[in-house]
Chain A
């Protein structure tokens, strides 16, 4: 079955860290760019970070100011998001999303179900 499954979310205090994972199955993982997209409660979608298929190029939202780092392990078909210095406003459901093109096209044709990150004291 073709799917993406996120994990690693939870409750964390402001200033803390979390690492999210996204396990892919049924897809040729290394052939596709991947992204993280988040959605705060009751709000719209916000693109967070993207990475090319071989991991050589990464792209981040300027609002993150270097606090988040995207990476991937193609041998494990897994995408990661390391989140540091977390703030209350980072509270959201975090989705991983697969690029829909054969080369980086930066639209998303497969999404995971998301993992909830709550930043609160």
Chain B
């Protein structure tokens, strides 16, 4: 089945930029979605179709996808952005089509 690899952790100072990568074989040919999950809460969609933002998500959140890497970028990081982040794709050709990345813990210093 398709594998998505994320760094376990990313640390960033307030006001700086955090970049979270999601690696997968030719992931640029797939649509990538991103979720934020805070402790004890359900995940929240922050980016869909590589770079679209749902209503209510700050413009500070952006996404890109090319080649073997998709990236979630959080600009002007705030303390409230501290959370786990997961990428996700739907691999239609697989017998396990729903795939989440391994998750990245973002720590705001």
Contacts and interface: CB of A to CB of B under 8 A. Distances in A.
Query: Is chain B a partner of chain A in the same complex?
Result: yes
Contact of B86 (A35, A44, A105, A106): A44
- Chain B contact-residue range equals 20 to 34
Kindly name the residue among B42, B88, B99, B101 whose own CB sees the greatest number of chain A CB atoms within 10 A. Answer: B42
Contacts of A108: 33, 35, 43, 45, 88
Nearest to B102: A44
Contacts of B103: 44-45
Contact of B95 (A48, A62, A105): A62
Given A59-B98, A107-B88, A95 B43 contact: yes
Interface string A62-90: 11000000000000000000000000000
- Chain A contact-residue range equals 20 to 34
Interface string A17-49: 000000000000000000101000000111110
A64 to B, nearest CB: 9
B99 A112 contact: no
Contacts of A53: none
Contacts, number: 66
B98 A114 contact: no
Given A35-B98, A44-B102, A45-B35, A107 B48 contact: yes
Kindly name the residue among B84, B100, B101 whose own CB sees the greatest number of chain A CB atoms within 10 A. Answer: B100
Nearest to A95: B42
B42 A113 contact: yes
A59 B88 contact: no
A48 B95 CA distance: 12
B90 interface: yes
Contact of A114 (B42, B48, B84, B86): B42
Interface of A: 35, 37, 44-48, 50, 59, 61-63, 95, 100, 105-109, 111-114
Given A37-B100, A107-B88, 20 more contacts: A37-B43, A37-B98, A44-B86, A44-B102, A45-B43, A45-B103, A47-B100, A48-B98, A59-B97, A61-B98, A62-B95, A63-B96, A100-B48, A100-B54, A106-B97, A107-B45, A107-B90, A108-B45, A109-B48, A113-B42
